[in-house]
């Protein structure tokens, strides 16, 4: 099933999407920028529908149950850092934080009776005055949270010697081409008070408030994803560990494409067609086949499942 990826440098997938309802969709927006329109040379206007960083969050969410704040059963034995308050309440984790293992809530927590930063630096074998031992760093990250080797992690704080950085191995983006804005609007009604008064205006949530909105329609909406297989092999892990990372990355990709692609309130998309661009002749396995292969992979971890970090760490006098 996956042997075709053993020598390939990339798995690249292109998919065509379409709105579930009607023909308009709401794009991603950025503070002080709005929608990210762009122009390809000699082509009609295009639009960024979902960014690389946002899709990384969607990929990670496939393996994490937000209701229970736990990984799904398939990933239960894979290591991760569970950040809790002093009373044991779950706060966040290496699966939820944007900076994953390098998150402030981990480096400023207490793990195994040690501050999170020195604890993590020790596991990564970071030593002042010594070059970074990348093979040891990759092996340590694999034992702490392997998904960081898929989605990237940057130990940027000055307390981490050399500031090791692992780039994303799984990246994706959704773009729309030949787009046209659709301008519409609405009215927030107030049938209790037809006229606003002092202290009871629109700012306080009273009165009739008209609003405008801009959505888009497009000739095509394209999802493109790449898994850097050469990067995964370049970590220098054993074949079983490398295969597990590959399976997990492909599983996340397949899970996202199989699931409901409701990216935001008015951006509900569905899969129209799927094409594997590279390697030639490869077909994306089913989610069930990938899950069976993950279970059968046989990788064992020194400390499987959750490792608890307590935040804030008790102050040392």
Q: What is the pLDDT of residue 191?
A: 66
- Strand boundaries in 151-305, DSSP class E: 153-154, 165-166, 170-188, 209-228, 261-264, 267-278
Give pLDDT tens digits for 117-165.
Answer: 999 999 999 999 999 999 999 999 999 999 999 999 999 999 899 999 9
The Cα 34–Cα 221 span in angstroms is: 19
Q: CB of 166 within 8 A of CB of 152?
A: yes
pLDDT at 215 > cutoff 90: no
Instruction: Kindly tell me the burial class for residue 136, based on how many C-beta atoms sit within 10 Å of its own C-beta (0-12, 13-18, 19 or more).
Output: middle
DSSP labels for 84-95?
E-TTS-EEEETT
Residue 206 has pLDDT above 80, yes or no: no
Over residues 30-54, the pLDDT tens digits come to: 777 778 889 999 999 999 999 999 9
What phi, psi does 235 have (nearest 5°)?
-70, -15
10 CB-contact burial (10 Å; exposed 0-12 / middle 13-18 / buried 19+): middle
Tokens describing residue 175: 């773009």
Q: Give the pair of three-digit tokens for residue 222.
A: 């394209």
- Segment 176-187 mean pLDDT: 84
Domain parsing of the chain, residue ranges: 3-177+219-310
* 210 pLDDT above the threshold of 70: no
Cβ-based neighbour number of residue 49 at 10 Å: 28
β-pairing verdict for 306-310 and 80-84: parallel
**Which among 3, 77, 54 has a CA at the least distance from the CA of 306?**
77
Cβ atoms of 52 and 173 closer than 8 Å: yes
pLDDT band at 315 (very low <50, low <70, confident <90, very high): low
pLDDT at 201 exceeding the cut of 80: no
State yes or no: pLDDT of 314 exceeds 60. Answer: no
Q: Cα–Cα distance between 158 and 137 in angstroms, integer?
A: 17
Residue 317 has what pLDDT? 40
- 94 against 204, higher pLDDT: 94
pLDDT tens across 80-91, in order? 999 999 999 999
pLDDT for position 33: 76
Global pTM value: 0.89
Cα dist from 194 to 118, 198, 206, whole Å:
61, 13, 9
Q: Give the span between the Cα atoms of 44 and 180, in whole angstroms.
A: 10
């Amino acid at each position: 099933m996956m042997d075709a990826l053993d020598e390939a440098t990339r798995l690249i997938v292109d998919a065509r999407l379409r709105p579930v309802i009607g023909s308009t969709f709401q794009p991603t927006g950025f503070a002080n920028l709005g929608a990210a329109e762009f122009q390809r040379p000699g082509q009609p206007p295009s639009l960024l529908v979902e960014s690389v960083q946002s899709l990384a969050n969607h990929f990670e969410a496939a393996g994490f149950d937000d209701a229970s704040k736990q990984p799904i059963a398939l990933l239960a034995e894979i290591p991760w850092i569970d950040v809790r308050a002093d009373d044991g309440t779950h706060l966040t984790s290496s699966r939820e934080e944007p900076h994953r293992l390098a998150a402030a809530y981990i480096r400023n927590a207490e793990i195994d009776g040690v501050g999170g930063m020195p604890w993590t630096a020790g596991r990564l074998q970071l030593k002042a005055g010594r070059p970074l031992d990348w093979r040891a760093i990759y092996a340590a990250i694999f034992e702490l949270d392997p998904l960081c080797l898929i989605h990237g992690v940057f130990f940027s704080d000055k307390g981490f010697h050399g500031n090791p950085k692992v780039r994303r191995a799984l990246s994706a983006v959704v773009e729309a081409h030949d787009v046209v804005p659709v301008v519409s609007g609405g009215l927030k009604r107030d049938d209790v008070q037809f006229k606003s008064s002092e202290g009871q205006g629109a700012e306080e949530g009273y009165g009739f408030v008209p609003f405008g909105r801009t959505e888009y329609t497009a000739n095509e909406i394209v999802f493109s994803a790449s898994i850097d297989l050469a990067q995964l092999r370049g970590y220098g892990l054993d074949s079983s560990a490398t295969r597990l990372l590959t399976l997990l990355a492909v599983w996340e990709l397949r899970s996202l494409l199989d699931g409901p692609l409701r990216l935001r309130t008015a951006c509900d998309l569905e899969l129209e067609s799927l094409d594997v661009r590279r390697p030639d002749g490869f077909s994306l396995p089913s989610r069930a086949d990938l899950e069976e292969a993950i279970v059968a992979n046989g990788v064992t971890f020194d400390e499987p499942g959750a490792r608890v970090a307590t935040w804030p760490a008790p102050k040392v006098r």
